[in-house]
Amino acid sequence: QKEVEQDPGPLSVPEGAIVSLNCTYSNSAFQYFMWYRQYSRKGPELLMYTYSSGNKEDGRFTAQVDKSSKYISLFIRDSQPSDSATYLCAMSVGANAGKSTFGDGTTLTVKP
């Protein structure tokens, strides 16, 4: 069993929809939780990071962490075609995000 499991998708939604992307994990020592967006043949781009449980909002993006359930989510409001990409969740035990464990990614397509 992988330490981090991510909903595989692919996910296709109409423009303007609310998107929910999810990951579960097994290692209770994870403290830092990140979401990255990766366009095809490009490196990942950091969207948000969260420490421990709780919610964090940045524009159209909201990250949620529920450590009791070992479950994290990324919500995208008013989705746009430019949001079409692969989204990766990542987690680390310490503050060193370079040693994160990544999910396999969920590919999202937002149709105009």
Partner 1 sequence: GAVVSQHPSWVICKSGTSVKIECRSLDFQATTMFWYRQFPKQSLMLMATSNEGSKATYEQGVEKDKFLINHASLTLSTLTVTSAHPEDSSFYICSGGPLSYEQYFGPGTRLTVT
Interface with partner 1 (CB under 8 A): 32, 34, 36, 41-46, 49, 51, 88, 92, 94-100, 102-105
- Please, which residue, 15 or 57, has the CB nearer to partner 1? 57
- Please, which residue, 62 or 107, has the CB nearer to partner 1? 107
Specify the residue for token string 């009791």.
Answer: 68
For residue 21, the minimal CB distance to partner 1 (Å) is: 14
CA 32 to chain centre: 12
For residue 107, the minimal CB distance to partner 1 (Å) is: 8
- Please, which residue, 99 or 111, has the CB nearer to partner 1? 99
Residue 17, CA atoms < 13 Å, CB-side half-sphere? 16
